[in-house]
Amino acid sequence: MSIMEPRGLARLKQVLINDKHFNPVKFNEVLASDVFKTLQNYMEITKEDILSRLDIDAEGNYVFRCKVKCNRLKIMGILNS
């Protein structure tokens, strides 16, 4: 960052550079797929039963929202202690 360049402008440039290498749509698909695989261990669901979205909030934090519709939970076995 040069002395003449405001800090916010430098941050914006860095975000734009990083965004070229980061595909939020693809990341959301991969994240949703991983969540789906995990949830399948506990409930009977299809890929159509999951709605997910990756957003950025006002503070610049990533927020992953996921809604899952499930008609039936899987019966869990008894764990040995």
Q: Residue 32: inside a domain, yes or no?
A: yes
Element (H, E) at 33: helix 24-39
The pTM (predicted TM-score) of the whole model is 0.61
Q: Residue 50: inside a domain, yes or no?
A: yes
| Domains: count for the chain | 1
Q: Residue 10: inside a domain, yes or no?
A: no
Q: Residue 38: inside a domain, yes or no?
A: yes
Q: Residue 12: inside a domain, yes or no?
A: no
CB 50, CB 36: distance < 8 Å:
yes
pLDDT value at position 55? 85
Domain of 56, in residue numbers? 23-70
Q: Residue 2: inside a domain, yes or no?
A: no
* pLDDT per position as a tens digit, 3-50: 556 777 777 777 766 665 567 788 888 889 999 999 999 999 999 999
CB 77, CB 44: distance < 8 Å:
no
